[in-house]
Amino acid sequence: MSDFSDLVAKAIQPSMTREEREAVYTVVRQAVLRLQEREALPPDDPRVALQRHLVEETIRDVEGDVVRYASLRKLEAAFAAQNAADKTSQAGRR
């Protein structure tokens, strides 16, 4: 499943909007459904439920990574702004 996770993660960019990311996830879900249909798995087969669970788990993990990335960028920007403000106030005191 790690190859699958990597593939989904590569299709997503942190700069994408939530709607754009959801469109990618929809394509992923549809592809998995087509693969299940091709394998002719009955809907009550436990493998179908497991595959769906893994897809949703992967999407949740990727979303977590995107949120973590965005949060780190915001923290870095705030830290840079704080450092700039500190430099300005220290220069004014001299």
pLDDT value of position 94: 62
Q: What CA–CA distance (Å, rounded) separates 64 from 56?
A: 12
The domain of 56 spans 2-93
Q: What CA–CA distance (Å, rounded) separates 30 from 36?
A: 10
Burial 36-66 (b: 16+ CB within 10 A, else e): beeeeeeeeeeebeebeeebeebbeebeeeb
pLDDT value of position 8: 82
What is the phi/psi pair of residue 32, to 5°? -65, -40
Domain count within the chain: 1
Q: What CA–CA distance (Å, rounded) separates 63 from 77?
A: 21
Q: Would you write out the chain's pLDDT as a tens digit for each of its 94 residues?
A: 567 778 887 888 888 999 999 999 999 999 888 988 899 988 899 999 999 999 999 999 999 999 999 999 999 999 999 999 988 888 766 6
Establish how many alpha carbons lie within 13 A of residue 90's alpha carbon, considering only the half-sphere containing its beta carbon: 6
Query: Using the 8-state DSSP alphabet, how is residue 16 labeled?
Result: S
